[in-house]
Chains A and B, each alone.
Chain A
Amino acid sequence: MNIKLKVWRQKSAKEKGKFVKYTLENASPEMSFLEMLDALNTKLILQGDDPVAFEHDCREGICGCCSLYINGRPHGPGEKTTTCELHMRSFKEGKTIVIEPWRSRGFPVLKDLIVDRHAFDKILIAGGFISNEAGTAQDANSILIRKDKADEAFDSAVCIGCAACVAACKNASAMLFVSAKVSQFALLQQGKVEAKQRVQAMVRKMDELGFGNCTNTYACEAECPKGISVTNIARMNREFFGARIGTQKS
């Protein structure tokens, strides 16, 4: 299949970027989207041009590296699909595919399609953990946890930190990401001790880093490749306001 592409090219964070058009003649519907980009890069390298930089590693939808904005959607057209899981069979021949990096204040472009998502680590450093030291834990089965709660916590914990939620949101809000972590721990007995400080510290950090507010458009949930639900945001709000009231009282 013949592919027409419009790709964002930007040499570095400091330089200005622009769209560049490419064509690729020998693509196949069986190729994954990233394999199509591999083929484009082979072509570019052999004709003496710089290949397109894009981030990827596991190529099976779990590491969260791949992060392309394809035809106006984070991770492209598939439902609950990361870019690396996307296949060319989802595209029509002849139509131009537009590929951009995540666009959001919080994530500056480093080169071409690669952005800096370090802000997510910073939010988690503020409180995305349960404080316990190796060797101090009690027997794992001494804490019984209802299966439905454990399953719910797991559903929140499957976030891959790709940041599609932020890229999808018109306010560049990181609420889905933050709330998934807050929920995972809030749902588990182990996480309850630090629940109050955790939600406050993480929300504070998120605001400080300039992520926007949530205005309930649910674009984040729609674009999340792992199907993280917006009910996490509601839970986080409850935790957050609960924590504030709790702190005022004490």
Chain B
Amino acid sequence: MIKLDSKIPEGPLTEKWTNYRSSHKLVNPANKKKLDIILVGTGLAGSAAASSLGELGYNVKVFCFQDTPRRAHSVAAQGGINAAKNYKHDGDSVYRLFYDMIKGGDYRAREANVYRAAEVSNATIDQLTAQGVPFAREYGGALDNRSFGGVQVSRTFYAKGQTGQQCLLGAYSGLLRQIGKGTVTMYSRREMLELVVIDGKARGIITRNLVTGELERHSGHAVVLATGGYGTIYYLSTLAVNSNGSAAWAAYKKGAFFGNPSFVQIHPSSIPVLNDYQSKLTLMSESLRNDGRVWVPKKKGDKRPANDIPEDERDYYLERRYPAYGNLVPRDVGSRAAKERCDAGYGVGDTGLAVNLDFKDAIDKQGKKAIENKYGNLFEMYEKTTGINSYEEPMRIYPAGHYTMGGLWVDYNLMTTIPGLFAIGESNFSDHGANRLGASSLMQCAGDGYFIIPNTITSYLADEIRTPRIPVDKPEFEEAQKTVQEKIHKLLTINGSQTVTSFHKRLGKILWDYCGMTRNEAGLKKAMGMVEELEQEFWRDVKVPATANELNQELEKAGRVADFFELAKLLVTDALNRKESCGAHFREESQTETGEAKRDDRNYSYVTAWEYNGENKPPLMHKEDLKFENVEVKERSYK
């Protein structure tokens, strides 16, 4: 059995990365050209990595399923990107950012990785600014900052509500530059469907050309996954609808361990579910809670329009329960608090599954113009979706599936348990523990891509310089392609009576109900049975039209949903195993008297890493014990 080794460098926390960088093995420029790197994904993590690895001189092949790298889901990030610049002189530092993330993640993340993420954050802002990302500025010309949940400093850089778009386009411009220079070859409209492992090392992938349907083989000396998160497993989520977990799942089935799969972030402020045919939940950025106040009526079932409810009949429940952080509590806390009020009958709107996010006080104090300046596009988005002008009346919001802290288990090198297979950005489990703080994903993605992977992959490839280009006619490629072909064939020949989407919706509902914001043993066991049954029904009765040899969007979806069934079982297994509450993982059996998450550090201070153990066999569990040497482990309180 593989032993988990997180490969954390020796030495004090603050020196680990510096020491690593100055002592890891290098590859000389002439050799870099002979080394092929496969990079799947062009979100902020992938695009940043592509431009850095290309610049170093490697031969990089980049893949994405959209028509162009610029459309990766990162483009939708709204609120901001963190860095420990301390431009506001409000006491910020690398250590404080690190501390906030460790605490925010409820002490379930690895110290060394988190510290490094905080450490490279400043260079990321410098890099993106130098690339022409038009971050918001103050009148004096310096960069502006705002606050995000779970922290008491202003360290979030932003470009109105389009920070992800601007950061991604910056990284994408670097990627394009490398295409022009010939170091990066771009393969758009390709979906990776299998990983190829030869002699224990990741050596290639099988992709489907999404226009022609052709299966293609690509080889490399190393493979990097930057394929994002699997939040769409809930069907309705804030993610781009084509986001999926299939690349990570393929890697898992080939031997990469899956870390903390049940750690899923439910974001407190999304436009609520409005109807049955809804395909997507639109996020209303957390940054809005800087100026918006969250409330519900004090009276149960009060159906008066929000503006008719007088001040003293409003319950600003976040300010009431968490006076120190108020509306800026972290997401897991905010989401559960909203659920608690709605479940108790205080929710607003037709469904009662919504709370108010009110800007009246902010507008009175700062003027409409100031609010428009900060959040204009979010107010517009809200109005387009709901038809409501929220300068005049409060927005209605409700929690929605948003981000996956869980992902492929990686060591300090961001390498999975398959040698030569790396995972960066949201696709890995690394930096956010059991709950991610706002604006720290973009920070992690850019840091992984620009600054970390270029070092760690070089250290790995230094031992590969004698490996000649890997031929794609090896039996392992043959076999991987066959696996893909068989799955496609199976999906196309069932010819049942229900659409792929209808299955996806039902799967999402099961997970939302039993493995969402709160979980309990009975519910999880029930969910497991339901997922298994639904999966069998899927393989009996799904209808996938047309053929494999053409542009076939239903076939693409079918493959992803088929994988989601398997991943869903792992999610539930993981949630069942962890009998404590921590961060976003709230086990009802483990809560304080006031309804806060109760951790059990004695028994669960570890990362769960699951190993695939064959079809229909329970996965094997590995534990990475977490050691906290630089922070004091405390109850996580925002009161």
Contacts and interface: CB of A to CB of B under 8 A. Distances in A.
Interface of A: 11-12, 28, 30-32, 34-35, 38-39, 42, 44-46, 48-51, 53, 55-65, 78, 80-81, 85, 87, 89, 110-111, 114, 116-118, 120-121, 124-126, 128-141, 143-147, 150-151, 153-154, 157-158, 160-161, 184-185, 188, 190-191
B282 interface: yes
A30 B275 contact: yes
A45 B554 contact: yes
Given A45-B499, A49-B545, A89-B387, A132 B188 contact: no
Contact of A81 (B136, B174, B384): B384
A141 B71 contact: no
Nearest to B123: A135
Contact of B550 (A11, A39, A137, A160): A11
Given A85-B384, A158-B162, A58 B240 contact: yes
A81 B68 CA distance: 21
B127 interface: yes
Interface stretch (B22-30, B176-184, B352-360, B626-634): B176-184
B147 to A, nearest CB: 19
Interface string B613-628: 0000000000000000
Nearest to B278: A35
A38 B140 contact: no
Interface of B: 48, 51-52, 55, 66-71, 73, 75-76, 85, 87, 123, 125-127, 129-132, 134-143, 159-160, 162, 164-166, 169, 173-174, 176-177, 179-180, 186, 188, 211, 240-242, 274-275, 277-280, 282-283, 380-381, 384-385, 387, 450-451, 454, 497, 499, 501-502, 543, 545-546, 550-551, 553-554
A11 B546 CA distance: 11
A-B residue pairs, 8 tightest by C-beta? A144-B141, A137-B130, A129-B173, A137-B126, A140-B129, A154-B134, A59-B280, A134-B450
Given A42-B499, A50-B546, A143-B129, A30 B274 contact: yes
From DSSP, what is the main secondary structure of chain A's interface residues? Answer: loop
B545 A60 contact: no
Given A28-B277, A89-B387, A141-B143, A63 B129 contact: no
Given A58-B75, A130-B173, A131-B177, A53 B553 contact: yes
Residue with the highest number of chain A CB atoms closer than 10 Å, among B134, B274, B385: B134
A151 to B, nearest CB: 8
A180 to B, nearest CB: 11
B165 A158 contact: yes
Contacts of B68: 117-118, 120-121, 161
Contact of A124 (B55, B160, B173, B381): B173
B176 A34 contact: no
A117 B55 CA distance: 26
A52 B177 CA distance: 35
Residue with the highest number of chain A CB atoms closer than 10 Å, among B48, B169, B454: B169
Contact of A28 (B70, B139, B275): B275
A22 to B, nearest CB: 15
Given A50-B546, A128-B173, A138 B130 contact: yes
A191 B450 CA distance: 20
A128 B132 CA distance: 11
B240 A63 contact: yes
B140 A190 contact: no
Contacts of A32: 279, 385
A31 B278 CA distance: 7
Given A46-B497, A62-B164, A140-B135, 10 more contacts: A35-B278, A50-B545, A51-B545, A61-B384, A110-B551, A121-B186, A130-B132, A134-B454, A141-B85, A161-B70
A118 B67 contact: yes
A157 B279 contact: no
B280 to A, nearest CB: 4
Contacts of A61: 381, 384
A132 B131 contact: yes
A55 B499 contact: no
B277 A38 contact: yes
Contacts of A150: 134-137, 141
A154 B279 contact: no
Contact of A144 (B52, B140, B451, B497): B140
A48 B140 CA distance: 63
Contacts of A55: 67
Contact of A125 (B138, B179, B553): B179
B71 A63 contact: yes
